[in-house]
């Protein structure tokens, strides 16, 4: 039976709409506020939601934004309001609502809107990617989103300077407008033409690592960069390397200068240690929404265990761990012991060293895990580490710096 969730703080409206829709044969659930709506959305997975805009705890627009950012806007949502404005309706539509009903709601208008919304559900897109908007309670991630939005409001081009283990994937997807296309330039080598840019108009051209682009992809990048305004495109790039590395590799100097005009540094998971429990919880929720794992919850102890781990593989490593925990858990709540067991006994390849990564990335990830492991075993003693790995100390320091591993240089380690 088709399930409809009604979210409204007025009991009279909830009862009236419920009665009408149940008479039409729908399975109706109600929620009096945003907190109850979140729980009902997660438990029941409704086919359509009627969402009031003005509510006492969290307003409907904010809840709609939250669902969109969390990847939970997988069902049609119709907004309702007794004193809305055109601007509010436009804002709700931009976020992802399919329609807007003004109270008092006429019977035929209600039924026709619900019917139309349910017809559209058949074409509902897959669960959208996770974005920074899913973390409104995290000050560092909230501020990062504000900086990205501010840059995006004035520049169509942005280069993210990132270290290994950064939040690149989540940050990049935060710059993708709702419903807009996403073209990963690094996965295509065929010549880029005007037709392809036209097909992606209003969307994002993405490059995960500039240094990995081949010659033909570099030409495609230059071609797209010159036509961003014409096709209303945004160019979002990332690199662990500075411009000098690209120039040494033979890149066109004017192009490199143009690409590095607007940059922003991204934090690593190590720098976001206090935010890691919320990131892990949102990753788990997103995996459940996409149907990759059963509905599971991380206990407080499990979240703390994840927080104290060194996630040198970044979001990809953390997602792999969370997915493994959820798939293996027989209970709804994942305990701390499960996290400790996974991190202690999981093969290296499952700790973020994913086998489908490019060889260079896989090698760097292994080296990073190797040196971090032995640094912990030796208590940071560089002399013993150099002896164990068979490297001269100067070369060892250079290697650790290249891998983004911070150590204190001492002339003679105790």
* Boundary (domain end) residue, out of 225, 248, 265: 265
* Residue 65 located in a structural domain: yes
The rounded distance, in Å, linking the Cα atoms of 101 and 411 is 72
How does DSSP classify residue 412? Answer: S
Phi, psi of 3 (to 5 degrees): -105, 130
Q: Are residues 68 and 99 in the same domain?
A: yes
Residue found by looking up tokens 């060892």 in the block: 396
Q: Are residues 260 and 146 in the same domain?
A: yes
Predicted local confidence at residue 349, as pLDDT: 44
**What is the reported pTM?**
0.64
The rounded distance, in Å, linking the Cα atoms of 285 and 295 is 8
Predicted local confidence at residue 177, as pLDDT: 86
* Boundary (domain end) residue, out of 70, 89, 121: 121
Supply the DSSP string of 280-293, one letter for each residue: HHHHHHHHHHTTSS
Distances, alpha carbon 167 to alpha carbons 57, 145, 207, 214, 319, in Å: 30, 12, 15, 25, 12
Q: Are residues 245 and 294 in the same domain?
A: no
Handedness of CA 216, 220, 225, 226 (dihedral sign): positive
| Contact in structure between 161 and 265 (CB atoms under 8 Å) | yes
* Residue 388 located in a structural domain: no
Q: Angle at CA 67, nearest 5°, toward 64 and 71?
A: 145
The CATH number of the domain holding residue 42 is 3.40.50.2300
Q: Are residues 157 and 281 in the same domain?
A: no
Q: Are residues 104 and 187 in the same domain?
A: no
* Residue 398 located in a structural domain: no
Predicted local confidence at residue 89, as pLDDT: 76
* Residue 372 located in a structural domain: no
* Residue 366 located in a structural domain: no
Predicted local confidence at residue 157, as pLDDT: 97
Q: Are residues 183 and 216 in the same domain?
A: yes
The rounded distance, in Å, linking the Cα atoms of 115 and 109 is 10
Q: Are residues 44 and 100 in the same domain?
A: yes
Give the residue from 300, 311, 307 showing the smallest Cα distance to 335: 300
Range of the domain at 165: 132-265
Predicted local confidence at residue 370, as pLDDT: 79
Q: Are residues 210 and 324 in the same domain?
A: no
Q: Are residues 277 and 260 in the same domain?
A: no
Q: Are residues 147 and 245 in the same domain?
A: yes
Phi, psi of 78 (to 5 degrees): -110, 125
**Residue 181's beta-bridge partner residues?**
none
* Residue 183 located in a structural domain: yes
* HEC letters along 158-177: EEEECCCCECHHHHHHCCCC
Q: Are residues 138 and 255 in the same domain?
A: yes
Supply the DSSP string of 81-121, one letter for each residue: ESS--HHHHHHHHHHT--EEEESSPPHHHHHHHHHHHHHHH
* Residue 150 located in a structural domain: yes
Each residue's pLDDT expressed in tens, for the chain with a length of 414 residues: 899 999 999 999 999 999 999 999 999 999 999 999 999 998 888 999 999 998 988 899 999 988 888 778 889 999 998 876 677 877 888 888 988 898 889 899 999 999 988 887 755 456 788 899 889 889 999 999 999 999 999 999 999 998 767 888 899 999 998 778 999 998 888 999 999 999 999 999 999 999 989 999 999 999 999 999 999 999 999 998 899 999 999 999 999 999 999 999 999 888 899 999 999 999 999 888 888 888 899 999 999 999 988 787 788 889 889 999 999 998 999 999 999 988 876 554 444 445 555 677 677 777 877 787 777 666 677 887 887 788 888 888 888 887 877 665 443 444
The CATH number of the domain holding residue 324 is 1.10.8.60
* Boundary (domain end) residue, out of 248, 265, 282: 265
Domain count, the chain: 3
Q: Are residues 60 and 44 in the same domain?
A: yes
The CATH number of the domain holding residue 230 is 3.40.50.300
Predicted local confidence at residue 230, as pLDDT: 96
* Residue 394 located in a structural domain: no
């Amino acid at each position: 039976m088709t399930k409809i969730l009604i979210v409204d703080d007025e009991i009279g409206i909830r009862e009236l709409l419920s009665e009408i829709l149940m008479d039409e044969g729908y399975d109706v659930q109600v929620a009096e506020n945003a907190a109850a709506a979140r729980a009902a959305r997660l438990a029941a997975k409704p086919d359509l939601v009627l969402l009031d805009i003005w509510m006492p705890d969290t307003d409907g627009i904010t809840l709609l934004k939250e669902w969109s950012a969390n990847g939970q806007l997988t069902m049609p949502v119709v907004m309702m309001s007794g004193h809305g404005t055109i601007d509010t309706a436009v804002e709700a539509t931009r976020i992802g609502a399919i329609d807007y009903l003004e109270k008092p709601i006429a019977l035929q208008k209600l039924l026709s809107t619900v019917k139309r919304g349910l017809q559209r559900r058949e074409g509902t897109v897959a669960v959208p990617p996770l974005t920074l908007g899913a973390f409104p309670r995290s000050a560092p991630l909230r501020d990062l989103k504000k900086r990205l939005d501010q840059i995006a409001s004035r520049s169509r081009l942005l280069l993210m300077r990132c270290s290994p283990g950064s939040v690149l994937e989540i940050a990049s997807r935060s710059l993708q407008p709702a419903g807009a296309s996403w073209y990963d330039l690094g996965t295509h080598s065929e010549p880029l033409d005007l037709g392809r840019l036209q097909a992606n108009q209003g969307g994002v051209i993405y490059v995960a690592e500039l240094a990995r682009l081949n010659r033909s992809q570099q030409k495609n990048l230059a071609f797209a960069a010159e036509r961003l305004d014409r096709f209303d495109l945004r160019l979002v790039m990332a690199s662990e390397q500075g411009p000098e590395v690209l120039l040494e590799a033979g890149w066109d100097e004017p192009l490199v200068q143009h690409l590095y005009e607007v940059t922003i540094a991204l934090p690593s998971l190590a720098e976001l240690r206090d935010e890691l429990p919320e990131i892990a919880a949102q990753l788990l929720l997103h995996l459940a929404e996409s149907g990759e794992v059963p509905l599971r919850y991380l206990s407080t102890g499990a979240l703390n265990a994840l927080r104290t781990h060194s996630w040198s593989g970044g979001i990809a490593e953390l997602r792999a761990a969370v997915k493994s925990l959820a798939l293996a858990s027989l209970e709804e709540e994942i305990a701390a012991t499960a996290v400790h067991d996974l991190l202690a006994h999981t093969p290296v390849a499952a700790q973020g060293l994913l086998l489908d990564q490019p060889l260079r990335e896989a090698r760097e990830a292994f080296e990073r895990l190797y040196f971090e492991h032995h640094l912990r075993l030796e208590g940071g003693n560089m002399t013993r580490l150099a002896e164990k790995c068979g490297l001269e100390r100067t070369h060892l320091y250079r290697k650790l710096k290249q891998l983004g591993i911070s150590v204190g240089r001492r002339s003679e380690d105790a």
